[in-house]
Structure 1
Amino acid sequence: MTVHGLPDEHEELRQWLFAQAEEHGNATVEVAGDEFGAGYVFTVGAWRRFGVAEAVAVGLPDGMGRVLVNAYVARARAGERFVLGRTYVDFFQETPVVLERVSRGHYPEFFGSALLLYPSGDFPAVQLIVATPQGAWPWQPDAPAGFAEWQPVLTASGAPESWTPGADGP
């Protein structure tokens, strides 16, 4: 056991997360997909370093999630503040991206190791949701089959909650 009361391997991970956040502004953690769900990528340390919500991207092709969450942190670090429900088309060659608040009920699954830096779980988190290249969102009835399962919306309801789709958001 260590000073923080964590097993050695958890303390090593906590120290790595802390060091990455200090050196780069955030650590980026990637979790591979499996038979139970899509892979995802999330940040750790952006809240601590810059006062911006940690970010997660779910179900994107290999490498794209890392690019997206790191671009989000870089832009936030430069002073940009993002609006939930607003469509951003400048992350990926005009492919729409929207941000939604993540329900704390999803923190253990999608931000598990972030809890080593924030043991109380007291940090904000957003999901960066990416539309299909044709502009379909996971919650839309015309979205490709399985899209909503591959890129679930991490709110309590599983649908956008910070805005009304089609009214004041995509």
Structure 2
Amino acid sequence: MDGLSEEDQRLRDFLIAQADAHGHAIVEVAGDKDGAPYTFSVGAWRRHGVPEAVTIGLPEGAGRFLVDTYIQRASQGERFPPGQVWDDLLEGVLVTVERVNKGHYFEFFGSAFLVHPDGDFEAIQLITATPQDYWPWEDEAPAGFDLWQPVLTESGLPESWTPGVNGP
């Protein structure tokens, strides 16, 4: 790619090498006063044709494990329709999937633009419930849970299904 700084070119080369060797690269971003930590994939779309994935607010290592597990299973043909719930992606945690609105791509998949400069990739969010099985959009969820794990749709709520009707 023309016009990249040396640092961006090195990062792009690293991400592509990781995706070529492992099927995808993982990027982990530490949380700070402005937001929760998050983990996302780069290269799954390029290598396997499966959506890139992001998860927000999980403890160190758990996000990597969840994204890795999703990509491994998706690359072997398993489908992850939005609104379905899985209890076997991350031990002891319910997980659902929602499509990520392109308006959130740059913030949550920034380095993926080094591989896909036009943002021409599909992306999903792996959303986790609390240990008590509350989702971020539920009134019973702990205060602030919806801010710790925002839903990356245009509205900030599930849009591919109706909570409690045809999804969690």
Q: Say whether the fold is shared (TM-score over 0.5).
A: yes
Please state whether the residue corresponding to 1:160 is helix, strand or coil. Answer: coil
What RMSD over aligned residues (CA atoms) do the two structures have, in Å? 0.8
CA deviation map 1:43-79 (0-9, x unaligned): 0000011110000000011110000000000101211
Which residue does the alignment assign to 2:127? 129
CA deviation map 1:7-43 (0-9, x unaligned): 1100000000000000000000000000000010000
Match of 2:80 among 79, 82, 107: 82
Aligned counterparts, 1:54-93, within 5 A: 54-93=52-91
Distance 2:7 2:90 in 1: 36
Name segments (4+ residues, structure 1) moved above 4 Å.
none
CA deviation map 1:82-141 (0-9, x unaligned): 111100111122421000000100011100000000001011100000001111000000
Please state whether the residue corresponding to 2:46 is helix, strand or coil. Answer: helix
Which residue does the alignment assign to 2:20? 22
Match of 1:39 among 19, 29, 37: 37
Aligned counterparts, 1:99-110, within 5 A: 99-110=97-108
Unaligned runs of 5+ in 1: none
Distance 2:116 2:41 in 1: 12
Unaligned runs of 5+ in 2: none
Please state whether the residue corresponding to 2:87 is helix, strand or coil. Answer: strand
Please state whether the residue corresponding to 2:79 is helix, strand or coil. Answer: coil
Which residue does the alignment assign to 1:113? 111
Q: Does 1:153 align with 2:151?
A: yes
Which residue does the alignment assign to 2:10? 12
Q: Does 1:138 align with 2:142?
A: no
Distance 2:33 2:4 in 1: 30
Distance 1:119 1:163 in 2: 30
User: Percent identity of the aligned residues?
Assistant: 60
Q: Does 1:98 align with 2:96?
A: yes
Deviation, structure 1 residue 5: 1.6
Q: Is the 8 A contact 1:4 1:11 kept in 2?
A: no
